[in-house]
Chain A
């Protein structure tokens, strides 16, 4: 039954046009970035960094390198927006539309309903990130040759790494596993707000505000020593996979924090949903 209920939730989710806004936005953003990368000084700067460090330019100005560069603005700006949009909609939109009352006149428990919806949200987050990664690589390949991967992230992770194309592709895929976890976490925050008596837009805005405040506080100069207390710090594990050597302890620690955070958020949402009155 759970499997069929989950399938039906996905059917509802992917039957809506607004679900695809995120995918469309990624498509446009990636092509716009590729154009600017191709015709701006961005590329020259990257070539200079590689040259100064003694690496051959043409091996590393590749589809993989460009795909990684394209990920940053999308992950900072677009991914939270679309993950929160869907997360905020899952419960709150059904309440607003009145379909939640129809569902809750049936013998399904509120906890089970929330669990099914959350699982659907997680699957959406995974699909969103996979699409983002595949689209970025495919479009980058249309403009740039296949080659090694060069990753340069000065702050805050201090990463300067080069990989051959096979290792680069493998790491690119591993990074997307962690990005899926990030998207699911962002979705879960908005989902939790949506479980309370709020409008879908309010749940999305609250989710985004939570993430934004995290980012702002983490970057305050006097908070440098307390970074590990902010969720955003832990959501950067996808970058850590490009470190040489990989700091697995940091990754495991952050994964535990993210897992605990998601569990807590989900439980708060479930309790909030359980105790509230569903009225027209």
Chain B
């Protein structure tokens, strides 16, 4: 399993604003990797830097072991990219658009263009002008142009933006097909946590340009097991549990027990202290709850939470 993307200590400022602050992570061959973060967190800047469109102030980005700044042609030879709002030459046909874009990579035979048009399901519409295309058709065309150079890595910047629920489901299905059938490594940035949870094997989370989490989704679910606790006075109960080191964190009606704490002991402690426990059960950690808990933490706590897991 080789490393396809290596991002090492990358920083980028736009004027005085720090867009990306000392970010490092890597993506392995065959992964579906999700980059999450709020608006302005630096996701698109990182994608821009990966594609050599935005220059990093410091640090190094390598795709396929080639530095994007100094070996652009090698780095991007086997890369396809799709942006949030794919732009085409509206006054030309889809076929002409694909022909034009393909020649910025390498000479592409007509059969290959036909093949990708078939794959994305645009056969029959390829000679229509792009201005007549719907948003969904444009997304398919964007996928077709990304697939033209027969890539090993596909970079998707907010791929579901502007799609209806059916379109989003189709997009998810397509990404899985690309990963399973064509064996592509997928790097995507998205706001759709539900989609990311269903698609990605690993995620990285950015907050204000800083990486606050990088790890496997399975790791999140195993590492952070929350329990629902319904008692007569939740605040008083969690204060007491925290003082005694029985829990690490709490939110709403959820508690995260400290490592090595046995649950019957925790319950016994509560009852012993006069609390009426009416419900205590395991609460499956979702990506959304994990993401929100990361976002709502103070900066200091976030740094402690940064995990590098393979």
Interface residues, chain A, with chain B CB atoms under 8 Å away: 1, 4-5, 8, 11-12, 15-17, 97-99, 101-109, 113, 275, 277-280
Check B117 for interface membership: any CB of A closer than 8 A. no
Partner of A277, one of B54, B87, B91: B54
Q: Contacts A277-B53, A280-B83 known; A102 to B145 CB distance under 8 Å?
A: yes
Q: Contacts A97-B87, A98-B83, A280-B44 known; A4 to B103 CB distance under 8 Å?
A: yes
B53 contacts A102, CB within 8 Å?
no
Residues of B contacting A278 with CB < 8 Å?
A: 48, 53-54
Smallest beta-carbon distance A165→chain B, Å:
43
Query: What are 15 residue pairs bridging A and B, where the CB atoms are less than 8 Å apart in the complex?
Result: A5-B103, A11-B92, A16-B91, A98-B85, A101-B83, A102-B88, A103-B104, A105-B53, A105-B79, A105-B80, A106-B76, A107-B74, A107-B104, A275-B55, A280-B44
Check B77 for interface membership: any CB of A closer than 8 A. yes
Interface 9-mer from B93-101, B215-223, B232-240, B289-297: B93-101
Check B75 for interface membership: any CB of A closer than 8 A. yes
Check B72 for interface membership: any CB of A closer than 8 A. yes
The tally of CB-CB contacts under 8 A between chains A and B is 90
Q: Can you add 17 more A-B contacts, CB < 8 Å, to A105-B79, A279-B54, A280-B83?
A: A1-B103, A1-B106, A1-B107, A12-B89, A97-B87, A98-B85, A98-B87, A101-B53, A102-B88, A104-B53, A105-B53, A105-B76, A106-B105, A108-B104, A277-B53, A277-B54, A280-B85
A17 contacts B83, CB within 8 Å?
no
Check B81 for interface membership: any CB of A closer than 8 A. yes
Check B52 for interface membership: any CB of A closer than 8 A. yes
Partner of B104, one of A15, A16, A98, A106: A106
Smallest beta-carbon distance B299→chain A, Å:
26
Residue on B nearest A104 in the bound complex, by CB? B53
Residues of B contacting A103 with CB < 8 Å?
A: 101, 104
A107 contacts B105, CB within 8 Å?
yes
B75 contacts A107, CB within 8 Å?
yes
* Ranked 6 nearest A-B pairs via Cβ: A98-B87, A105-B81, A106-B104, A107-B76, A278-B53, A107-B73
Residue on A nearest B48 in the bound complex, by CB? A279
Interface residues, chain B, with chain A CB atoms under 8 Å away: 14, 44-45, 48, 51-55, 72-77, 79-81, 83-89, 91-92, 96, 99-101, 103-107, 145, 149, 155
B107 contacts A11, CB within 8 Å?
no
A15 contacts B87, CB within 8 Å?
no
Partner of A102, one of B54, B101, B103, B149: B101
A101 contacts B103, CB within 8 Å?
no
A277 contacts B55, CB within 8 Å?
yes
Partner of B96, one of A1, A11, A109: A11
Smallest beta-carbon distance B88→chain A, Å:
7
Partner of A8, one of B75, B100, B145: B100
Residues of A contacting B84 with CB < 8 Å?
A: 280
B75 contacts A12, CB within 8 Å?
no
Give Cα distance in the complex from A275 to B76, angstroms: 19
A277 contacts B101, CB within 8 Å?
no
A17 contacts B77, CB within 8 Å?
no
Smallest beta-carbon distance B91→chain A, Å:
5
Among B79, B89, B91, residue most surrounded by chain A Cβ atoms (within 10 Å):
B89
Residue on A nearest B55 in the bound complex, by CB? A277
Residues of A contacting B53 with CB < 8 Å?
A: 101, 104-105, 277-279
Residues of B contacting A113 with CB < 8 Å?
A: 104
Give Cα distance in the complex from A195 to B84, angstroms: 24
Residues of A contacting B14 with CB < 8 Å?
A: 277
